[in-house]
Structure formats: C-alpha cells, structure tokens
Amino acid sequence: MRVFVTGGSGFVGRNLITTLVQQGVEVQALVKWETEIDILKSCGAVPIFGDINDFEVLKSGMEGCTVVFHAAAKVDDWGVLEEFQKVNIDGTQQVIAAARETGVSRLVYVSSEAVLIGGKAIINADETRLRPVKPLGPYPLTKAIAETKVIEANSPELTTVVVRPRFVWGKGDTTLLPRFVKAMRNGEFAWISGGRYLTSTCHVKNLCEGLICVAERGKGGEIYFITDGSPVEFRSFITEYARTQGVEPGTLSIPRWLAWTLAWSLERAWELLKLKGSPSITRTALSMIGSQVTVDDSKARRELGYTPVISRQEGLLEMV
C-alpha cells in the first residue's frame, strides 16, 4: 500500500509518516524546503519536493497512491489573510484536484477545532455543532472554508473525510510547546482567569491512530473529532507539560475580560500602524487556550473503533 502525505516535515506529518512506515506502508511526502528533505528520509518517506499549489508536483507524488493525508497548513493566530488562503484554501483545492486526477480513492483532511471559534463557547461539542458564519481569525476562517471544500468533494470515486484534533501535543512538538516555554522563560506567561477550566487534548500518537482509523473506515463527507479522552484542567496539564522542559509557568493571572480587551486593542494597533510581527496576545489565541474548549470524540470511537494508544501520563513521561 502506498500513501501520500502533505505537510510531511511538520509535527503531525513526521509522526504520521513514522507510524505508517512502521506498519509497512510505503509513504511519499511533500516537502517545501530542501533543508527538510533529510527529515522525511529519516522518517522513512520518499520526499516529493515542491509547493502545495504546484499541481504537477502533487500529481507526481500521488501516482500509485490509494490514500492522501492532507496535513499541510499555515498555522498561526495572526497574519495576512491572503497568506492563509494560499495554503489552507488554494492548496487544499489543488490537493483535491490532484487526487481526482490520479485516481486516489481516499482523502483524509487534518482540520482543527479552531473552525468553531467565533460562536458560542465550545463545551462538549460534537460533529453536529454548526460552525460560526465567520470563524474568528485567518487560521480558523480558512480552515473552515477548506473543510467545506473537502466535504463537498466527496464522491463515489473519491471518499473525503475531515478529522478535527484538539490541542495536538507530544514529544517533538514544534507548534504550541515552544511558544509556552519561551513565554514562561521570559516571564511573559500569565494564566487567563487562573486557568482553572477544562480542555480536551490530543496526543500526536493518538491523532495518528485516529487518522489511520479514518483512512480505513471513515464515512465519506463526514467529520470526526479525535482526542485523548476525558477533558483535563488546563492549568494542571500545562504545568505538567512545561515541567517536562524544565520550566515553571508561575502564578501570574489576569481576568479574561482584561485579556480580551488587551488583545482587541493590540490587534487594532497592529492593523492601523501596520506593525511587523504579531501582537503578544490575540483573540484567536485567547479563544483557543484562554477558555474552556472541550469536544466529544464518541463518534470516532463508535463508528471507527478508535481508541487512544497512549495516555496523557505516558505521553508526559516520554517527554521528560
């Protein structure tokens, strides 16, 4: 069996490739930067060098593949909308077109619970929860549009399925953990209203297990949440997570209303003054980690037979 993975050099992509190769699957993976070609080779994949919007490159990578795992994305809580659109929307459309052209039978899209940001509180949300008309921030907005493109592309010839993990973490995390650690070491980290709210999480190994379950048994045109199981208190989890890297989060806390006001003010200043870089806090980030976000993965367990392969405690221990 041969599969194609986009975003192969990313945190999710590297772990997915390793998991697939260990199961005897032949993997070809898209890589954008030459400096990351060796990373894919070390994971056991055949690197396909090129851009997510290069149709011919995508076609060459998908030739002979039965499944495409589309994990490539521009992930950030701030930035120029057009840059997010180019990767998250345009790139997804190119992946769909190439999959159709090469006769791929299944396309599994890695999305995010972030597509729900901008509406009511995300508490025990399942796949029937409607997305807000306009998700908050360029990343949630473009991921939501891409989700729609993927679902609409489902057909008898190409089965398309969406996977939504919440708070992907684990050894080698290159997304959230470095930001937490940097802020804590610089004394710039603060809990939002004490951090005593619940959050769902998804260890990267559990996400890989969920993606493979979806590739094998997921229903076309459907969405599946994947998590570690029951929610955990955000403050407790982040404290343990940070300690695996030898840092302490401290006890500084600011009220949510103040954090929201500050985020809104900083965003306006960045837009009006056209400042470089990113605000130290944004409404998108606050929505994702500054309040309760819990999702229900019962559908994946019921329909796919999904079961986590690693517990939170085991995941934390392997990071120490």
* Domains, in order of start, for the chain: 2-175+201-228+294-310 (3.40.50.720)
List the catalytic residues. Answer: 139
The per-residue pLDDT for 120 is: 86
Reduced 3-state DSSP string for 97-110: HHHHHHCCCEEEEE
Measured CA distances, 291 to 26, 256, 268 (Å): 41, 8, 22
pLDDT number for residue 319: 92
pLDDT in single tens digits along all 320 residues of the chain = 999 999 999 999 999 999 999 999 999 999 988 889 999 999 999 999 999 999 999 999 999 999 999 999 999 999 999 999 999 999 999 999 999 999 999 999 999 999 999 988 899 999 999 999 889 999 999 999 999 999 999 999 999 999 999 999 999 998 889 999 999 999 999 999 999 999 999 999 999 999 999 999 999 999 999 999 999 999 999 999 999 999 999 999 999 999 999 999 999 999 999 899 899 899 999 999 999 999 999 999 999 999 999 999 999 999 98
The pLDDT value given to residue 94: 98
Q: Is the Cα torsion angle 8, 13, 18, 21 positive or negative in sign?
A: negative
Q: Across the strands, what pairs with 295?
A: 125
* Pair of tokens at residue 10: 């990313």
User: Which candidate, 123, 117, 162, places its Cα nearest to that of 135?
Assistant: 117
d(CA 271, CA 278): 10
pLDDT of residue 34: 87
Helix axes 234-243, 176-185, angle to 10 degrees: 80
What's residue 119's pLDDT? 82
